[in-house]
Amino acid sequence: MNIVVCVKQVPDTESPRKLKSDDKTLDRGAADGVINELDEYAIEEALQIRDAQGGEVTVLTMGPGKALDSIRKALAMGVDKAVHLIDDALVGSDALQTSYAIQQVLGKTGFDLVILGSESTDARTGVLAAMLAERLGVPQLSQANKVEIDGSAIKIQRQTDYGFDRVEASLPAVVSVVEKINEPRYPSFKGIMAAKKKPVESLSAADADIDAGKVGLANAATEVVDFAEAPPRAQGQIVKDEGDGGTKIAEYLASKKFV
Amino acid sequence: MSEILVLVDHLDGEVKKVTFELLTLARRFGDAAAVWIGPGYEGAKDKLAEYGAAKVYVAADEELTSYVVAPKAEVLAQLAREKSAAAVLVSATAEGKEVAGRLAIKLDTGVLTDVVDVADDFTGEHSIFGGAIVAHAKVKSGMPIIAVRPNAIAVEASQSSPAEEQVSVTLSDAAKSAKIVERVVQEKGERPDLTEAAIVVSGGRGVGGADNFSIIEGLADSLGAAVGASRAATDAGWYPHQFQVGQTGKTVSPQLYIAVGISGAIQHRAGMQTSKTIVAINKDSEAPIFDLVDFGIVGDLFQVAPQLTEEVNKRK
Ligand SMILES: Cc1cc2nc3c(=O)[nH]c(=O)nc-3n(C[C@H](O)[C@H](O)[C@H](O)COP(=O)(O)OP(=O)(O)OC[C@H]3O[C@@H](n4cnc5c(N)ncnc54)[C@H](O)[C@@H]3O)c2cc1C
Ligand SMILES: Cc1cc2nc3c(=O)[nH]c(=O)nc-3n(C[C@H](O)[C@H](O)[C@H](O)COP(=O)(O)OP(=O)(O)OC[C@H]3O[C@@H](n4cnc5c(N)ncnc54)[C@H](O)[C@@H]3O)c2cc1C
């Protein structure tokens, strides 16, 4: 089975995240880059499916040179090979454009199964899996907390606010995963060493047949107009419990008309 | 007046509050045109009129809710084109955003997600990076598709008598490729939805076990609140994952958020920082959650929370 995992490198939430004042895009230099957390679950799921069904896992990343660190980590976890879409023309692409670019790369790699995180931690749009499924005309098996594959039949549990839906489809398909689907492995020392020899194919926009006139900040359908730091919250009142802490909160809530 | 399409967010006919927020918002820009998809409309029509829907498009075919997301995008795309809508509003839930994503591809236009307010020219206000930055963004050309965060817009009722129009859509094969074979509804009792609730009471590692979550539920019930949990609590299996608040869980923005036995890690804050009033109970006075609070008690939650529940019940 040909499995492609889409991985985004995002700024570490522990370090300060900023937008750049000139073009209002994410300042990827300001913070450490890490694999978007949910994408580690996507990688883990891909590895488990490969190990059960046979086949190969490719990690696909669109991002700057720095994103190579995330690719290396994915390879160290056990992914077989990588495709890195890297081109200045892609900088500032919005979700519509990113889904187009990834679709074009998938045209090169082919796929039986594409696995994504259900949401990134930086932009958090949560639209990519749906956009890709729409573009590719294949089943959208998103928000999965369980995936089962039997031949070309695929079943998932789709997490919802009320519980979950059982969903059935056939491959090829796009899957996105939520956090509780598995427990991502840590790269072993052996894995880290092996990763160094695994193939990483670097593609420009042209290599992937991406029309440069359709991607990047200038051609984006959306535009950030302005941004500012949110005003800090005023320092609140903090009281040590002297046996009447619950009552004190109740009084506070009453003063604010919550009770 | 031009129409603003509002996708009604409902579960089997039970309309979510965010729908009324979207209708309120839509009325600022033109005729609020509610789009009802799936069964259950008859029981809900009065509610849509109460919040000022000028029109309701009813696509009641059960087939439309038998497949994952795609049919909803096809209904909206058809209506958006036919009616030359000025914009489409959906709720910024996981599913709402997916509908928006597919619709954006169909209409080849931009999508704004997690918007907390919308200005005159459909510029969306976003609260990003866990509330640290407020950004404004817009769709440069084409019909704006805007996913609005629940609880961000104050609802205003405005009685109307909407014209109804039945809509039928012939689904593409692609839209029928992911079949929902069973829907499993897990009991949450009478509590409001986490993302919609005016009050949320969340428990963390300090709660110490699944059974102890009854303390959190008791407090929540006294206030008519939803229950949330930190990741430490959901990871431990004390509370189901769909109730997790934070970066990889739900983003909530209630009037009142009460954090009980939660330290306030940045990933948790990312999901609750924009709550209007924040209260915390924590035995560690150094816990970062206290940087956010309007009112905090340094104390043992097993003492403080039950006392609070009792006090609230007394005052009712
Ligand atoms: C703060 C902020 C707000 C933004 N708001 C919007 C907005 O409202 N509308 C809009 O159109 N764009 C927006 N953008 C741009 C957005 O970051 C890009 O469009 C991005 O390509 C897709 O968004 P996402 O990361 O939210 O994707 P999501 O749909 O949240 O990501 C889901 C999954 O898609 C995969 N994926 C995402 N990006 C890549 C990648 N580069 N390479 C490989 N796999 C990937 C990963 O598996 C990821 O887990 C915003 C950007 C920022 C920084
Ligand atoms: C990529 C990533 C994503 C994440 N996403 C999320 C997310 O979506 N949501 C989330 O919540 N976390 C998330 N986390 C985890 C986050 O970093 C914290 O580990 C988590 O929020 C801690 O949960 P907690 O506050 O319940 O536990 P702890 O940090 O252990 O805090 C427990 C608190 O309870 C207090 N306490 C203990 N006993 C009592 C008592 N008897 N009375 C009163 N107080 C008591 C302690 O003083 C302490 O402050 C994420 C982490 C990562 C790395």
Burial B94-104 (b: 16+ CB within 10 A, else e): bbbbbbbbbbb
Per-residue CA distances from B130 to A16, B74, B135, B256, B265 (Å)? 11, 32, 12, 17, 11
The answer to whether B206 and B230 have CB atoms below 8 angstroms apart is no
The answer to whether B71 and B171 have CB atoms below 8 angstroms apart is yes
Burial B278-313 (b: 16+ CB within 10 A, else e): bbbbbbeeebbbbbbbbbbbbbebbbbbebbbbbbe
User: How much of chain A, in percent, has pLDDT values that exceed 90?
Assistant: 86
Give the A:B interface size as CB pairs under 8 Å. 294
* Residue B239 banded pLDDT, cuts 50, 70, 90: very high
The whole-angstrom separation of Cα B279 and Cα A253 is: 9
Is the Cα torsion angle B213, B218, B223, B226 positive or negative in sign?
positive
Locate B4 and state its tokens.
């603003």
Residues 170-209 of A with CB under 8 A from B: 170, 173, 178-180
Considering every ligand atom, which ligand is closest to the CA of A63? 1
Predicted pLDDT at B188: 66
Locate A178 and state its tokens.
């939520």
Locate A21 and state its tokens.
């004042």
Q: Which residues contact A197 (CB under 8 A, 6 or more apart)?
A: none
- DSSP class of residue B151 equals T
Helix residue ranges per DSSP H, B236-276: 266-269
Locate A140 and state its tokens.
């959208």
Per-residue CA distances from A182 to A49, A93, A101 (Å)? 12, 31, 28
Predicted pLDDT at A180: 85
Q: Which of B22-31, B55-64, B121-130 has the lowest mean pLDDT?
A: B121-130
A148 has a chain B CB within 8 A of its CB: no
Tens-digit pLDDT profile for residues B151-201: 999 999 999 999 999 999 999 999 999 999 999 988 767 899 999 999 999
Residues 158-217 of B with CB under 8 A from A: 174, 177-186, 188, 193-195, 199
Predicted pLDDT at A207: 98
Locate B48 and state its tokens.
């849509």
Locate B176 and state its tokens.
């029928």
Predicted pLDDT at A235: 84
Tens-digit pLDDT profile for residues A115-170: 999 999 988 999 999 999 999 999 999 999 999 999 999 999 999 988 899 999 99
The whole-angstrom separation of Cα A239 and Cα B130 is: 26
Tens-digit pLDDT profile for residues B93-142: 999 999 999 999 999 999 999 999 999 899 999 988 878 889 999 999 89
Tens-digit pLDDT profile for residues A223-236: 999 999 888 888 89
Q: Which residues contact A70 (CB under 8 A, 6 or more apart)?
A: A7, A9, A33, A34, A35, A61, A63
Tens-digit pLDDT profile for residues A78-107: 999 999 999 999 999 999 999 999 999 999
Instruction: Choose among A224, A241, A250: nearest Cβ to B135.
Output: A224
- Which helix (H) or strand (E) is A245 found in, with range? helix A245-255
Residues 267-306 of B with CB under 8 A from A: 267, 270, 277-279, 281, 285, 290-300, 303-306
Residues of chain A contacting B131 with CB distance shorter than 8 Å? 230
Locate B131 and state its tokens.
């509330």
Is the Cα torsion angle A114, A119, A123, A125 positive or negative in sign?
positive
Q: How far is CA B183 from the centre of its chain?
A: 20
Residues of chain A contacting B112 with CB distance shorter than 8 Å? 222
Mean pLDDT of chain A: 95
A229 has a chain B CB within 8 A of its CB: yes
Predicted pLDDT at B306: 98
Predicted pLDDT at A27: 80
Tens-digit pLDDT profile for residues B244-301: 999 889 999 999 999 999 999 999 998 999 899 999 999 999 999 999 999 999 999 9
A249 and B223 in contact by Cβ < 8 A? no
B66 has a chain A CB within 8 A of its CB: no
Q: At what angle do helices A128-136 and B70-82 cross, to 10 degrees?
A: 80
A222 and B138 in contact by Cβ < 8 A? yes
The answer to whether A175 and A113 have CB atoms below 8 angstroms apart is yes
Report whether residue A98 contacts ligand 1, using a CB cutoff of 6 Å: yes
3-state secondary structure at position B28: coil
A139 has a chain B CB within 8 A of its CB: yes
The answer to whether A225 and B123 have CB atoms below 8 angstroms apart is yes
Pairing of strands A200-203, A81-85: parallel
Predicted pLDDT at A231: 85
* Residue A26 banded pLDDT, cuts 50, 70, 90: confident
Predicted pLDDT at A19: 83
B182 and A37 in contact by Cβ < 8 A? no
